[in-house]
Amino acid sequence: MLRIARKAYTKVIRQWRGVNQNQQNVKPFGVRGDKVKGRQLDAVGRITYCRISAMRTKILTFVVSAVVVFLPVCALGQAAQEFRDHPDIPKEWPKEPVRAAHGMVATDEPLASQAGVEILKRGGNAVDAAVATAFALAVVEPAAGNIGGGGFMLVRLANGKTNFFDYREMAPGKATREMYIKPDGKLDNQASTIGYRSVAVPGTVAGLALALKTHGTMKLADVMAPAIRYAQEGIPVTDKLVREFAEERKDLQRFSVSNRVFLNDGKYFQAGDTLKQPELAATLKRIAKNGPDEFYRGETAKMLTSDMAAQGGPITMEDLAKYEPKIREVLHASYSANGARWEVLSSPPPSSGGVAVIEALNMLQNVPLQGWDDPKSVHMVAEVMRRIFADRAAYLADPDYANVPVAGLTSPCYAQELLATINPVRASTSSEVRAGNPHVCTSGVSASVPPNTIISLGEGPHTTHFSVVDAAGNAVASTTTLNDSYGSHVTSTAGFLLNDEMDDFTTQPGVPNALFGLIQSEGNTIAPGKRPLSSMTPTMVLRDGQLSFVTGSPGGPTIISATLLTVINWMTLGMNAQTAINAPRFHHQWLPDQLFMEKLFSPEMEEQLRARGYSVKRRGHIGLVNAIGIDAKTGERCGAADPRDEGSAIGY
């Protein structure tokens, strides 16, 4: 069987090379020169302090439903999450990354990047700076930064040691498999997304404290100082915050503390006002003084559980006391490209992202991609995305509760079999693509779930990613979330927003999907102490054994596509860090059977892809990647914040 798969794989590659024989001089998007010959990083003089804030969009965002058109709630049993989109994007984007000789922090918010650099300048390492940055984001980016949510942190030290910190939220002890099903058997959509019943046990504070204890060099109080200062003294209200507050007003005003803090008690903030968060400042001070036990057993825990008891929420003191972050093994995969040996480090389950990215890169290893102005290249990657998302839907779950076939999904042999199913000139249909039978090269099927079941189709897109590299070469890639924008929209009396992560579980298991008749499996159903599946994909790339690229993105299921594309741009297409972030993005997640393309693509590209059989839907942007590359010649840190929003890369 393996021999047959290899023959089919070879046939696809030969067909691909054949249809591309007249395309060898096509230039990849944004890459100068006639051919791609490894990374093209322009060496410039070192500078002592660098900062870039990407162009700001001024137009109100609008909502695009990613799945609901094709997968009705009555069939899925779980409401499809919405993607918020900027209809217009800035015309003038930075063409070169920010360069610095020592350290670099790239985040969604300038104040958060400044907090990280402040710690680096004081002698802290990348983990110290990352923890400071994460706490700062809880103040300056309330839509996604948090202490009331959860996240993942990928750490690689200069000596090569790696760790993955999983502080994903957990279902509380009172959670039940059908807790969001009404007496009539229908799903209560709002109960899992808005209000106290949607909240899972937060993990951020425990996770950040564990990362700091394991790899940091500074005290918790010291790295939290910038966040406390921002909360106590206030931050400027930006156009972005004004826009967000307006978008979320309907739900924020339902909860008294949220209404007071973010809507100014109905008087509403204007750009240039100062947003002070005294209750949050007091909570951060208690955590800085007493450590994570303050959040899970102390006064803050008592305040949170009192809120829950008064409003019908499920979280108890016992739930908080039982929460534990986990240290998991990092996923590794090796590749050859442009005369170099590359290693990709990424996120293990309960993230689905690392498995999906490695599975995709395995399929694309010998596919001669030309760039994103070449429809054949877009086609091949889109078909790879379709297949990895079919597998994601069937097999990925919390590894503490399910047997996830990671070895099979990331096996090069299995990737060859999947690649052999791709027509190099025509789009597949998702009705004919099912999850495969993942197995390692020396054995048969290792999957634990029938390939005609769905575990999860995706989760909330409102997340934030940041990257940090210090002078010694230690690096952090971290993604954190409240799930939906502003989470449950509930702000506790302790001053922090609470997640709505319970909606990331399969909230109505066993219901057939109307479009394909697939049954939602038990793998991602609600159970006490369980972590929901996630797409968050903090990732790093090594070149010839040395740190080369740190990346990741927010965006729900599009996290996987955005992260994958930036890795391809850097490792395979040889783009510099900023060009790798600027390059146009596309996304296919199997269901719905649509190819999402950014508006950066030309009408001609859309037309050519439609001619190949794709149903194309345009998006203003896909993902918000904040990455750091390492110049192989100079060793400079090259910060690349995403210009699609208000990203900021700051170095020194």
Active site residue 464: no
The full length of the chain comes to 652
The three-class DSSP label of residue 189 is coil
- Alpha-carbon span 109 to 608, nearest angstrom: 37
3-state secondary structure string, 367-413?
A: CCCCCCCCHHHHHHHHHHHHHHHHHHHHHCCCCCCCCCCHHHHCCHH
Which tokens hold the place of 283? 């909570």
Q: Which of 480, 465, 461, 462 is nearest to 626 (CA)?
A: 465
Residue 445: which region, alpha, beta or left (left: phi > 0; alpha: psi -120 to 50)?
beta
- Alpha-carbon span 156 to 159, nearest angstrom: 8
- Alpha-carbon span 1 to 525, nearest angstrom: 35
3-state secondary structure string, 17-79?
A: HHHCCCCCCCCCCCCCCCCCCCCCCCCCCCCCCEEEECCCCCCCCEEEECCCCCCCHHHHCCC
- Alpha-carbon span 314 to 197, nearest angstrom: 6
Task: Please give the backbone phi and psi of residue 206, each rounded to the nearest 5 degrees, phi first.
Answer: -65, -40
Which tokens hold the place of 426? 């025509």
> How many CB atoms neighbour CB 245 within 10 A?
20
49 in Cβ contact with 652 (< 8 Å)? yes
The three-class DSSP label of residue 626 is coil
Task: Please give the backbone phi and psi of residue 140, each rounded to the nearest 5 degrees, phi first.
Answer: -90, -15
CB proximity list for 581: less than 8 A, separation 6 or greater: 566, 625, 627, 640, 641, 642, 643
The gap between the terminal CA atoms of the chain, to the nearest Å, is 55
Q: 126-140 vs 110-121: helix axis angle to the nearest 10?
A: 150
Instruction: Please report which helix (H) or strand (E) contains residue 560, including its range.
Output: helix 558-571
Q: Which of 463, 491, 525, 537 is catalytic?
A: 463
Q: What is the Cα 620 distance to its own chain's centre?
A: 18
Burial (CB < 10 A; 0-12, 13-18, 19+), residue 74, is exposed
Which tokens hold the place of 596? 């999402």
Q: Active-site positions?
A: 463
